Structures are given as C-alpha cells and as structure tokens.
Amino acid sequence: MKIIMLGAPGAGKGTQAKMIADQYGIPHISTGDIFRANIKEQTELGMEAKTYMDKGALVPDELTVKILLDRVAKDDCKSGYVLDGFPRTIPQAEVLDKAVKELNETIDYAINVEVPDENIIKRMSGRRACLACGATYHVEHVPPKKEGICDRCGKELVLRDDDKPETVKKRLEVYHAQTQPLIEYYNKKNILKEVDGTKDMKDVFADIVKILGA
C-alpha cells in the first residue's frame, strides 16, 4: 500500500503516518526527518537543506526529489510506504508519479489531514521533537513520561528551530502557495481522502483506518 499524507505543517501528518506504519507494517518516510538527520550529521546535504529550513522555505526540488527516490528504491519499500512531507510541490508529485509508473505501480491514497491555520501555531509551539529517533510529542496533548526526555530513546527533546511562531507563519504561507494545490492534483486522480485533523489523534487514526481498511 502506498500512501501520501497531505496537510499543513503541524496538521498531524507525522503523528498519523507513524501509526499507519505500525499498523500496516510499511515504512514511514519523512523527508523532514531525513533532512534533520543530515543536519545532525553535518553532511553537505544537511548543511544546504538547513539554509532553507531555518527560513521556513522549501528545500529545492532537485535535492528533495533525489533523496526521496533513493529512499523509496530500498528493499523495505517493496510492499509500500507512507510518505510524510513529500510531495510538497506539483513538480515533486510529477516526479513521484513517474517513478511509481515506471514500476507499473500506483499510489493508493493521498490523505489530507485538515486543520485550520488558527490551530496550527498553537500546536507547533507545543511540539517537542527527538532529533535522535524522530519521535514527536506535544507538551499538552502528548507529553513524554519525563519532561524533556524522549520515552523511546532517552535523548533530550527540543523545540525545532522552524517551529518558532515567526517561522511557522512563513511555513504556512509557503504551504498555501506551493503545497495546497496538491489537494486538487490528487482529487483529479481520484485518490484524495479527507480527514478532520482537529479531532483527538486516536479518532483521526480511526477515521484513517476506515479509509484504508483494517
């Protein structure tokens, strides 16, 4: 099963993608996580991506498409994957379509997690991330057992640089201009499904399972 998660930054794509990956036994692929891992390792790719990410801008398509295509070519993607944060532009979606088509396969679902902008800034300022293992928490909605420490790997949790309110505002503008058009793109392909992301995360997941089938 091949699934794309759509939605504004902070809509809960990563939260739901992780649950989908666990339930359906497919890898969760987040381009944002791949960039952050590269930043942590101080690779050339990471250093270049960081200059865009810190401004709330998108990393250029050429760089992003390459890392995504390399990742989905790995063996663990043979039975499918859930993409979180990719595609974010129409050209990225077109490259993905082409790559999938070359394998005689199709994307099964594009799930749009719908959350109004008003809710987003609050969510993002409460998000805490583990840069070591990619786990995500929220100070109110999903607190870790021990404040500031990742339940999964014991490392320190941080407020991502790009989750500060000024950057979030910019990221929302970029989302509306460049990523939102993908909703119509996948609607035309008849694979778009919408879920109400303002619900409790377990209820959002239950709605997704209804779409995907148990």
Choices 93-101, 151-159, 167-175, 194-202 (CB under 6 A): range interacting with ligand ADP:
194-202
- Tell me: does residue 13 bind ligand ADP (CB under 6 A): yes
127 noted as active-site residue: yes
Closer by beta carbon to ligand AMP, 5 or else 208: 5
> Can you tell me the distance from the alpha carbon of 129 to that of 8, in angstroms, rounded to the nearest whole number?
17
- Tell me: does residue 141 bind ligand ADP (CB under 6 A): yes
Q: Are 32 and 160 in contact (CB under 8 A)?
A: no
Q: Active site residue: 2, 88, 128, 193, which one?
A: 88
* Number of residues located near ligand AMP, criterion CB under 6 A: 18
Please provide residue 78's backbone torsions phi and psi, each rounded to the nearest 5 degrees: -60, -35
Choices 17-25, 87-95, 130-138, 196-204 (CB under 6 A): range interacting with ligand AMP:
87-95
What secondary structure letter does DSSP report for 107?
Answer: -
160 noted as active-site residue: yes
Q: Which residues 6+ apart lie within 8 Å of 71 measured at CB?
A: 29, 34, 77
88 noted as active-site residue: yes
- Tell me: does residue 163 bind ligand AMP (CB under 6 A): no
> Can you tell me the distance from the alpha carbon of 37 to that of 31, in angstroms, rounded to the nearest whole number?
10
The per-residue DSSP string of 16-76 comes to HHHHHHHHHT--EEEHHHHHHHHHHTT-HHHHHHHHHHTTTPPPPHHHHHHHHHHHHTSGG
Which residues lie near ligand ADP (CB under 6 A)? 7, 9-15, 84, 123, 126-127, 136-138, 141-142, 197, 199-201, 204
Which residues lie near ligand AMP (CB under 6 A)? 9, 30-32, 35, 52-53, 57-59, 64, 85-88, 92, 162, 171
